Amino acid sequence: MFKEIMQIYNIGKDLGLSRKEINSTLFFKNRFPLIIALMMIIILSVFAIFFWNVALILYGRSIEPVYARGTLYSSISLKDFKDKK
């Protein structure tokens, strides 16, 4: 691994880059700071969990039974069928 890093340094020097520019490319020092990235991940995770819970609650309400509790299938009773022959 050390050999590959040295090759990258040599390539960078051949291209005319300074040691600081090579290090910033290798170690990503010109990127977002780690703390800001972690805060963004945490905030996005909280929003994702919140919206997932809202979706589950809405789905749960959409599959509730159509008929009232205690009834088998509908409000039709047995006496509705007594007159039928």
Q: How far apart are CA 40 and CA 33, in angstroms?
A: 11
Identify the pLDDT of residue 43.
97
Q: Residue with structure tokens 């008929």? A: 67
Query: Within 13 Å and on the Cβ side, how many CA atoms surround 2?
Result: 0
| pTM for the predicted model, two decimal places | 0.40
Q: What is the mean pLDDT of each run of 10 residues along the chain (85 residues)?
A: 78 82 69 79 96 88 67 65 65
Identify the pLDDT of residue 68.
63
